[in-house]
Amino acid sequence: DAKTTQPNSMESNEEEPVHLPCNHSTISGTDYIHWYRQLPSQGPEYVIHGLTSNVNNRMASLAIAEDRKSSTLILHRATLRDAAVYYCILRDRSGGGADGLTFGKGTHLIIQP
Amino acid sequence: EPEVTQTPSHQVTQMGQEVILRCVPISNHLYFYWYRQILGQKVEFLVSFYNNEISEKSEIFDDQFSVERPDGSNFTLKIRSTKLEDSAMYFCASRLSYRANSPLHFGNGTRLTVT
């Protein structure tokens, strides 16, 4: 999996939007951008993924730069329950396959009440 | 919503003993995984399993580790002779398809403590 770079930690206030950045300057044309999160004492949880266009689901939005070298996970209205480590991971569309995800250190998101 | 379940939630064992960690993946999923996370460290890939055989394994997954799908629902990780450094959270995951946009679904893990 190609390398991604994320800030170690970010802090936000409850009920405000949160923008979590991810740089992936070596992304290839066949890489999907996946986001997972890990709440305290739980397993990783899928959040969202995209290829070229911005994506929305019930959990979050994913904004992908036009050159695809960066992306931003957007939590529209953070709650205390969104405090977690957020991981940005690239997955090769052409490979797919059975191989596992490679987790980095992610961004530790702290939500202040 | 279907989920991956893991048992037990916490396992304590003595060094040198064998342990089996159990997982029930989501029923129609075809690809299965084990990961581990040592306290305070990254989530690390151990092994992937498809069609009753290992598809890929990491350097961590040495001869002390084995996986099995003994029936149509369970997926197990066995550590033959545990070491202190095997103490970690072990997460099972499954996914429906081989496609790169098919997400992994993780269980909430088994905390293994080796004393």
Tens-place pLDDT, residues B20-67: 999 999 999 999 999 999 999 999 999 999 999 999 999 999 999 999
Find, in chain A, the residue whose alpha carbon is nearest to that of B55: A98
State the nearest Cα–Cα gap between B14 and chain A, in angstroms.
23
A92 vs B contacts (CB less than 8 Å): 100
Q: Compute the distance between CA of residue A67 and CA of residue B104 in angstroms, rounded to an integer.
A: 27
At residue B70, the 3 state secondary structure works out as coil
The mean per-residue pLDDT over the stretch A16-23 comes to 97
pLDDT at position A102, please?
87
Per-residue pLDDT band for A66 (boundaries 50, 70, 90) equals very high
Per-residue pLDDT band for A1 (boundaries 50, 70, 90) equals low
Candidates B68, B86, B21, B106; CA nearest to A42 is: B106
A55, exposed or middle or buried, with CB in 10 Å at 0-12, 13-18, 19+?
Answer: middle
Residue located via tokens 């689901």? A57
Beta bridge partners of B50: B31, B53
A87 vs B contacts (CB less than 8 Å): 43
- Mean pLDDT across chain A: 92
pLDDT at position A30, please?
86
Per-residue pLDDT band for A95 (boundaries 50, 70, 90) equals low
B98 vs A contacts (CB less than 8 Å): 96-98
Find, in chain A, the residue whose alpha carbon is nearest to that of B50: A98
Residue A104's CB is within 10 A of a number of other CB atoms, namely: 17
- Chain A to chain B Cβ contacts (< 8 Å): 75
